[in-house]
Structures are given as structure tokens and as C-alpha cells.
């Protein structure tokens, strides 16, 4: 977990993003994020996450692969152990990738007060944090900001996929062993008959 500091912060003024349509191009569903919304960005074989903070900007945990070029090698992310929290323009982070507003845990947890979310997100900008694609990734970072709970659905899904693949491979191995044992013993019996 990132253990965001908890103290009474000066409450920033909420920005209503009246100028948002001029800053952000429309999407397929004409989604307009509100401050505090989680933004899920599809990078092909993984998802990058950011939190919208208003006026066309997001804050995100930026591992080296995201630093060089949005959508860079996810392998590089897997190998690094540090990342920097950055505030950047929405479209610089999204680039040409597909994105969605995805407040994925709203049905599980009550989102924290928007002023708290924004104050803590802005306080983290520029900080270098531990990074681990399994325990401390960009999704953990934004869910901790929004809900006070660091969770990553993509890590959980990857683990479930790995377990399922392992079970399939184990099943195939067992079937192969049974088939070899069964058919191998028939050949031996025939050889003994002659």
C-alpha cells in the first residue's frame, strides 16, 4: 500500500470544468470526466490508470515505461521498482489509446470526499514511490486515492488467468500420463504375447 498521509488538509476549491468541452475532444461515448474520476487507458496488453483532477489534467503514477512514451514496454514496468507521481495533460497521457471513465469500485466502497481526493493527489505530485506491477502499480495508486483502498483488478485477473492456465496444463499432463500408461501397457502386453 502507499499509505497516503491522513491529516486535515486545506480544502482546495472544486473546479466544475466548465471549459472541459474546449479542452478535451469528444470520445465515442462523449464521456466527460469529473474531478476524482478514475481513467482507465488501454495500452494493448495492460491498462494504465490516472485520476482526473480537473481543467484537462490527470495525476498518475508514472513508471519508466510510461515516462518514455505512453504505451511503452510493459516489460520495463515489470522490471522497475520506482515510479514518479505526475500531473499531466489528459491527452498527453491518453495519447491515441482508448480510454474510459471507470470508477470500478464505487459499488464496493464509498468514494472519499472529493476535496480530500484532490488534495492528496496534488500533494503526491513529484514524489517518487515504490513500484511493483503486482503490489504497487498505477491502478493501486488511483484506487487508494479515490477509495482509501489500494486494489488492482488487472492483477487479480492476471492471477486468475494464470491459475486457470496452470489447471488446464495440469489436466492435459494428467490425461497424457493416463493415456501413455494405458496405451503403453497394451503395446507391452502384445510384445509379451509373441
Rounded Cα gap, residues 190 and 192, in angstroms: 5
Q: Give Rg (Cα) of the chain.
A: 24
Point out the catalytic residue in the list 60, 62, 136, 140: 60
Number of H helices, E strands in the chain: 7, 6
Point out the catalytic residue in the list 48, 62, 136, 140: 48
Point out the catalytic residue in the list 62, 136, 138, 140: 138
Rounded Cα gap, residues 168 and 172, in angstroms: 6
Is 140 labeled as catalytic in the residue annotation?
no
Q: 145 near 103, Cβ under 8 Å? A: no
Is 62 labeled as catalytic in the residue annotation?
no
| Residues noted as catalytic | 48, 60, 138
Amino acid at each position: 500500500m502507499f499509505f497516503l498521509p491522513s491529516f486535515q488538509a486545506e480544502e482546495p476549491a472544486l473546479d466544475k470544468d466548465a471549459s472541459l468541452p474546449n479542452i478535451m475532444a469528444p470520445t465515442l461515448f462523449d464521456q466527460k470526466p469529473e474531478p476524482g474520476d478514475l481513467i482507465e487507458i488501454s495500452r494493448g496488453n495492460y491498462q494504465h490508470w490516472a485520476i482526473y483532477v480537473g481543467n484537462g489534467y490527470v495525476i498518475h503514477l508514472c513508471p519508466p515505461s510510461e515516462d518514455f512514451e505512453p504505451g511503452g514496454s510493459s516489460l520495463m514496468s515489470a522490471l522497475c521498482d520506482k515510479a514518479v507521481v505526475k500531473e499531466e495533460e489528459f491527452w498527453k497521457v491518453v495519447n491515441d489509446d482508448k480510454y474510459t471513465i471507470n470508477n470500478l469500485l464505487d459499488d464496493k466502497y464509498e468514494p472519499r470526499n472529493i476535496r480530500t481526493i484532490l488534495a492528496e493527489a496534488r500533494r503526491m505530485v513529484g514524489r517518487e514511490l515504490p513500484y511493483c506491477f503486482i503490489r504497487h502499480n498505477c491502478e493501486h495508486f488511483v484506487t487508494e486515492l479515490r477509495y482509501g483502498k489500494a486494489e488492482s483488478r488487472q492483477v487479480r485477473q492476471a492471477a486468475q488467468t494464470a491459475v486457470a492456465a496452470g489447471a488446464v496444463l495440469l489436466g492435459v499432463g494428467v490425461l497424457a500420463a493416463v493415456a501413455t500408461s494405458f496405451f503403453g501397457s497394451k503395446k507391452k502386453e502384445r510384445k509379451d504375447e509373441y
